[in-house]
């Protein structure tokens, strides 16, 4: 998979941009605050229809404009693909492939795949469970775009259930009970399916994760990742029944896949609380690398790698280890400073105040 060319209109600080990428390594350089990450973010948007910085769509549209367009010319198995996403302020986003409008923008998912490494990734290890759930679910979508539907179904049911619990005000009338039964049956179905998918993914990631960690950390360690939700043994339906009184009282869904965690440990100790900063960084990188590897293997082609300012956070050893543990493929790397030794860019893009030009 290759992204050959990228066009932007009113995306972030870019009124317009037209960029050609190298098949190997393209480096994006420029002073901080001038639009390096924005450029990588646009590529990420084309792949996932979301910002890897977690920004809402409206923040991606240039201030003063009411829509933005990201268009990319990709190549997959020798075939050219013209991908286009249109972001509409406060409205429905649209997408096209080869100039054919898609019924739903989400149908663009999977056409282009990216793996992102960013300084924020440390939060995968140091942050709360939500970071790790997003990590797992993003990986599931990269493997099978249909998982995106599962995720949005879950969000929708949870929103409806919360609204109902609030409306109940702690009292279980027959009417509320009936509706709750319907919601819970749906929630149980979606939850069990998502948990099974997450578990299958973790099984696939584990062996790769251990090897990736050893490479990045340049040390042998026993790394474990365990996804074992407390409700899984008896299924979500039973857990929801058991939690119903509590849920009613607190007007939230206290148990389910939206509360799960992925427990990470290094040498038997919880990574979040016991690992050193260096070990945590290595583990965060290894988590990203292992998804990249599993997705490459699954789809037969490595995703486009986006490395956003990662070398500012890594010591030279880890930077070097990262560069050398990337599977062959296309990489887009942003940096405000020097490149690590060993990086040989095929193309350098200079960003300055919302403009970009090739060297």
Ligand X SMILES: Nc1ncnc2c1ncn2[C@@H]1O[C@H](COP(=O)(O)OP(=O)(O)O)[C@@H](O)[C@H]1O
Closest C-alpha to 41, from 290, 328, 334, 323: 334
Residue ranges that bind ligand X, judged by CB under 6 A: 12-13, 30, 32-38, 59, 61-63
247 binds, among ligand X, Mg ion, none (CB under 5 to 8 A by kind): none
CA distance 2 to 265: 35
CA distance 102 to 99: 9
191 binds, among ligand X, Mg ion, none (CB under 5 to 8 A by kind): none
Give min distance, CB of 9 to ligand X, in A.
12
- Considering only residues 15-74, where is the footprint of Mg ion by CB under 5 A? 36-37
CA distance 296 to 286: 15
Q: How big is the site for Mg ion, counted in residues (CB under 5 A)?
A: 3
Q: In this complex, which beta carbon is closest to ligand X, that of residue 57 or of residue 162? A: 57
Helix/strand/coil for 115: strand
Q: In this complex, which beta carbon is closest to Mg ion, that of residue 39 or of residue 124? A: 39
The answer to whether 331 contacts Mg ion (rule: CB under 5 A) is: no
Give min distance, CB of 135 to ligand X, in A.
22
CA distance 52 to 3: 18
Q: In this complex, which beta carbon is closest to ligand X, that of residue 88 or of residue 208? A: 88
Q: In this complex, which beta carbon is closest to ligand X, that of residue 72 or of residue 210? A: 72
> What does the block give as tokens for 317?
């050893």
CA distance 243 to 188: 13
281 binds, among ligand X, Mg ion, none (CB under 5 to 8 A by kind): none
Give min distance, CB of 204 to ligand X, in A.
33
Phi, psi of 274 (to 5 degrees): -115, -20
Half-sphere exposure of residue 251: CA atoms within 13 angstroms, side-chain side: 9
- Which residue is at the shortest CB distance from Mg ion? 37
342 binds, among ligand X, Mg ion, none (CB under 5 to 8 A by kind): none
CA distance 113 to 95: 16
Half-sphere exposure of residue 341: CA atoms within 13 angstroms, side-chain side: 3
Q: Mask 284-323, x = binds Mg ion (CB under 5 A)? A: -------------------------x--------------
Binding site for Mg ion (CB under 5 A): 36-37, 309
């Amino acid at each position: 998979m290759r992204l050959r060319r990228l066009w932007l209109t009113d995306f972030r600080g870019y009124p317009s941009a037209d960029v050609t990428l190298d098949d190997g390594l393209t480096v994006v350089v420029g002073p901080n605050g001038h639009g390096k990450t924005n450029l990588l973010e646009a590529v990420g948007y084309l792949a996932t229809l979301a910002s890897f910085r977690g920004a809402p769509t409206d923040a991606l549209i240039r201030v003063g404009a009411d829509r933005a367009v990201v268009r990319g010319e990709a190549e997959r198995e020798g075939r050219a693909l013209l991908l286009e996403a249109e972001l509409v302020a406060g409205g429905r986003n649209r997408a096209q492939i080869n100039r054919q409008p898609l019924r739903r923008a989400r149908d663009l998912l999977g056409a282009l795949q990216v793996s992102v490494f960013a300084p924020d990734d440390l939060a995968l290890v140091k942050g709360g469970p939500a970071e790790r759930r997003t990590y797992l679910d993003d990986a599931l979508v990269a493997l099978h775009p249909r998982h995106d539907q599962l995720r949005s179904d879950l969000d929708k049911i949870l929103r409806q259930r919360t609204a109902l619990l609030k409306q109940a005000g702690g009292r279980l009338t027959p009417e509320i009970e009936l509706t709750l039964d319907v919601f819970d049956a749906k929630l149980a179905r979606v939850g069990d399916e998502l948990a099974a998918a997450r578990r299958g993914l973790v099984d696939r990631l584990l062996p790769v994760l251990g090897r990736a960690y050893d490479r990045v950390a340049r040390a042998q360690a026993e790394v474990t990742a365990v996804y074992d939700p407390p409700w899984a043994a008896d299924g979500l339906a039973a857990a929801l029944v058991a939690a119903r009184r509590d849920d009613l009282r607190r007007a939230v869904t206290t148990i389910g896949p939206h509360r799960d965690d992925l427990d990470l440990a290094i040498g038997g100790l919880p990574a979040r609380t016991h690992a050193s900063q260096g070990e945590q960084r290595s583990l965060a990188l290894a988590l990203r690398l292992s998804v990249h590897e599993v997705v490459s293997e699954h789809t037969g082609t490595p995703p486009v790698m986006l490395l956003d300012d990662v070398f500012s956070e890594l010591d030279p050893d880890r930077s070097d280890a990262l560069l050398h543990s990337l599977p062959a493929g296309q990489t887009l790397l942003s940096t405000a400073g020097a490149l690590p030794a060993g990086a040989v860019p095929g193309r350098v893009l200079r960003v300055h105040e919302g403009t970009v030009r090739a060297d």
